[in-house]
Chain A
């Protein structure tokens, strides 16, 4: 009956898309703070740091004499990718390319997930789907909004950078570098949203893919062999670097990136056609009729609820630390250059070998990731309240203090576990490849030394929750500000007192440096104070 199929296909596709525009408007209405705020933040990040760097190093010779070598060492290359060219413009965006690509990727993920799997899981799709809304409309609206967001924010930076007098072609290439990763994550999240039945599962898959892309790129960019370098071509985040903004300016890489994103979106629609509303492709199984021994207390429940994310973070920590440990071998090749070593030491402000400096840099990033783990565990408590699960527990003989403590403990212990793992695995792998690299003991100690700063930010998130459940997500803002102040504060020539606001600035320079006891103790004390204040505030306020 090919004739009837032909007759049907036209109106059918149109009806599948019915309501897309209305949903797009709804999504925009709900994201009217998130998207403009992110656009502003990312533009200020790229343009502000570029402006400050250009003021410091206005000419190519200044760049050569200055920090070009610093930024071409493997520790930095692994984190941010290689410098595109030895020019002021290329130097001005060295950190921005990768951080912006990752940031925009996360934003794209957040927008797609918010309007697809989260809506479906919370049952709001059902409300819309029963109206005149086509089956494809929600996913289409989410993809449209996130794509517009990615392209818009990227072009905003292009315009801003060209506006402060940087090369327009290079500025366009920077925008393309960001789009490459943003579009990739639009596609990845669209697929992930079809695979799982939960928003958390969708987050796990999406972040897993993003982390894998980042790790492949880091390994490729820091590799010393051609075969190793090929790894960055496998990763879409590697493409962002290969665009080589203000260097080779390979803006044509947008074409394969767009093709990849389109293919992922096509897969997402194909999956959507094969599943029911509310269901995923990975079907749920029947569970146990009785609760296990552990599930009988608030702490047991907290463990049960956090278990999947503990497993996820454990895997991520082991893989990342293994990669870090591996990179050490490319560092040791550099120790033959005493000039580089001297410069790194003077800039880092700490003593120690190149390997030490490499690890203390990478551990700062690991600490930020561990903070994210802790914040997401702390936000679980806010989610429990929002979903009225807290109400059920607190209406029973569970005190508010026990409820709070059960989740706060998870939020503070998870980063401890993550950092110990990172230190142990990185030390184990690194020390085997390079005997002069710091061992397990030194790296675990160095990892633990980051915890006061990590705990302080998590404890402030707990305090926000204690004051009002809806304020808790601002913990992500605290993390972003603290991290960016630490990474970009000096680069953007910000006043020292402002930079000092970031807890990460006060982390001891370990391994290699000395343990800064006073700031560590002060931060730990403040963290304890904030967590306690959160508990007191939570006992006083309304729940629900």
Chain B
């Protein structure tokens, strides 16, 4: 008979985790879109171009852009509250 040794897993204890449901919209036409610019090089240009394309090609009504001071800090809570309160879609960025 093979004996066994009891050990602990070093991972975190089990969580009762619930997933947030993904939301969707039918169309971007007449929507308000928010951007949190992560302050990485070129992301400001991408945001600028996307804002123009979203309005011209997809009929987005308004684009609101808020820029972080630096990539390695969280967005200001005031930005998050503002965009969550008035936007249909919020777009953020990650990477170099």
Do A and B belong to a common assembly?
A: no
A residues sitting closer than 8 Å to B (CB atoms) are: none
